[in-house]
Amino acid sequence: MKTSVLHLRSGFTVGGPEKLLLALVANAAPDEFRMTVSSFVLPDKPNRFLEAAASGGIATAPLAVQGSFDRSAIGGFRKICSDVGAELVVAHDYRALAVALLARRNSSVKRPIISVAHGWTGQSWRVRVYERLERWMMPSADRVVAVSQPKQAELLRLGLPNDKVVLIENAVDIPDVDPACVSRFWRDRFSWPDDVVVVGTVGRLSPEKAQHHLIAAAAQLRDDYPMLRWVLIGDGPQKPDLEAAIRDRGLDKNVVFGGWIDDMSAAYMGLDIFTLSSDTEGLPMALLEAMAHGRPAVTTNVGGCGNVIEPNRSGLLVEPGDHEQLAQAIARLAGDASLRREMALRAQERIRTAYSLASCGQAYVHLYRSLIGATV
């Protein structure tokens, strides 16, 4: 009989963590495990994450709630655990962990719980409170997965026992693309000429991603590198502020918003250079995806980025908050097409050898097996 594993994620969209979760669930020893994905569902608000799971043939279990602090979620999740016969629960964020732990506390069945520590942004006082709560709750989980080596070190510094913290770094599938090829995806979309160099970033437009540093870098390079065009792919609460910064610097023709793209593979292949300006990260899926597509990357040295990038070989690292250093690194790649091609090949090979989805999936399966039948 297959072992039932229940994953809980509170998000309503499909970003990097959600894509990885769905990929791992879809490929986790299907002859051994029966996977179910659960997420919160609010009245009259679509849950794109559950929709994506269902469209991929993954079993889903919607958890109906009326708001962020609906205590009925605890009983609702306990019922879902019973309905799917869950023998193991995997919580993928602070709200999911809280519900899983509270549901177990008042249950006669003490299912093991895995908490996945994706990363903490501290982007607002509310988020900081939630993240502090998650750190307080994590010792009550049976295992805590760190998605990068710096996150593992951080969890150990917080006092979690060494045998409770498990390092399983994020990973991606390698697409069947030519890393030396750059498509016309963005050139066609914005009617740009062939000789432009397209620099793009992917991620939520929110404070911790610090896209305003990219805008400052674009302003610094405008005169010396007039062929540069910049695409901010994604959406989020910072968009009005970023739009104002672009207007104030007169960059309306140089910096554009790409929105959320359904065909992200095509979006990556349309970039000459990928960049991240984040102030904080866990191990960003966007970086792994871009490198898997053979995009030479310039990224801040935060979270696991410094472990992924081999400096001056598969990408370039800069210090967070330094838009001048960011501009210099992008200029180095913008002015050297042969260097971009060399780094493109090395970037894809780096992901293939060290961050493959297959090895990540095997690590999770091993973790599941180690906890099945365990109680607290």
Q: Looking at the structure, do residues 73 and 203 belong to the same domain, yes or no?
A: no
- Sheet order of strands, 315-318 included: 255-259, 228-233, 197-202, 273-276, 297-300, 315-318
Is residue 115's pLDDT more than 80?
Answer: yes
> Looking at residues 129-158, what average pLDDT do you find?
89
Query: Rounded distance, CA 210 to CA 318, Å?
Result: 13
- Say if 179 falls within a structural domain: no
Q: Looking at the structure, do residues 96 and 225 belong to the same domain, yes or no?
A: no
Give pLDDT, residue 123: 58
Band (pLDDT 50/70/90 cuts) for residue 120 is low
Mean pLDDT taken over the chain: 92
Amino acid at 315: G
The answer to whether 311 touches 325, Cβ cutoff 8 Å, is no
Q: Looking at the structure, do residues 191 and 338 belong to the same domain, yes or no?
A: yes
> Looking at residues 59-88, what average pLDDT do you find?
91
Domain count, the chain: 2
Amino acid at 204: R
Percent of the chain with pLDDT over 90: 77
Residue 234 DSSP symbol: B
- Say if 298 falls within a structural domain: yes
Q: What one-character-per-residue DSSP string does 38-71 give?
A: EEEE-TT---HHHHHHHHTT-EEEEEE-SSTT-T
pLDDT tens-digit profile of 316-354? 999 999 999 999 999 999 999 999 999 999 999 999 999
Is residue 60's pLDDT more than 70?
Answer: yes
Helix extents (H) in the chain: 16-26, 48-55, 72-84, 94-105, 125-137, 149-157, 185-189, 211-221, 239-248, 264-269, 285-292, 305-308, 323-334, 337-354, 357-371
The answer to whether 367 touches 168, Cβ cutoff 8 Å, is yes
Q: CA quadruple 350, 352, 356, 362: dihedral positive or negative?
A: negative
Q: Looking at the structure, do residues 222 and 200 belong to the same domain, yes or no?
A: yes
Q: Looking at the structure, do residues 361 and 346 belong to the same domain, yes or no?
A: no
- Say if 178 falls within a structural domain: no
> Looking at residues 261-276, what average pLDDT do you find?
96
- Say if 177 falls within a structural domain: no
- Say if 364 falls within a structural domain: yes
Q: Looking at the structure, do residues 349 and 363 belong to the same domain, yes or no?
A: no
Q: Looking at the structure, do residues 112 and 215 belong to the same domain, yes or no?
A: no
- Say if 255 falls within a structural domain: yes
The range of the structural domain enclosing residue 28 comes to 3-171+356-371
Percent of the chain with pLDDT over 70: 96
Distances (CA, A) of 369 to 110, 115, 170, 210, 345: 16, 16, 19, 40, 36
Distances (CA, A) of 20 to 25, 62, 289, 346, 363: 9, 19, 11, 23, 14
Q: Looking at the structure, do residues 115 and 200 belong to the same domain, yes or no?
A: no
Give pLDDT, residue 168: 96
pLDDT tens-digit profile of 279-325? 989 899 999 999 999 999 999 999 999 999 999 999 999 999 999 99
CB proximity list for 50: less than 8 A, separation 6 or greater: 37, 39, 41, 60, 62
Residue the block writes with tokens 């020893």: 29
* First-residue to last-residue Cα distance in the chain: 23
SS3 assignment, position 3: strand
- Say if 201 falls within a structural domain: yes
Residue 59: CATH number of its domain = 3.40.50.2000
> Looking at residues 188-201, what average pLDDT do you find?
96
Q: Looking at the structure, do residues 350 and 360 belong to the same domain, yes or no?
A: no
- Say if 35 falls within a structural domain: yes
How much is the pTM? 0.86
Q: CA quadruple 314, 236, 206, 14: dihedral positive or negative?
A: negative
Band (pLDDT 50/70/90 cuts) for residue 45 is confident
SS3 assignment, position 6: strand
Lowest mean pLDDT across 79-93, 111-125, 185-199, 206-220? 111-125
Query: Rounded distance, CA 36 to CA 82, Å?
Result: 12
Give pLDDT, residue 375: 45
Q: Looking at the structure, do residues 236 and 255 belong to the same domain, yes or no?
A: yes
Give pLDDT, residue 22: 93
Q: Looking at the structure, do residues 215 and 139 belong to the same domain, yes or no?
A: no
Give pLDDT, residue 82: 95
Give pLDDT, residue 122: 59
Distances (CA, A) of 35 to 171, 363, 365: 19, 16, 12
SS3 assignment, position 98: helix
Q: Looking at the structure, do residues 141 and 193 belong to the same domain, yes or no?
A: no
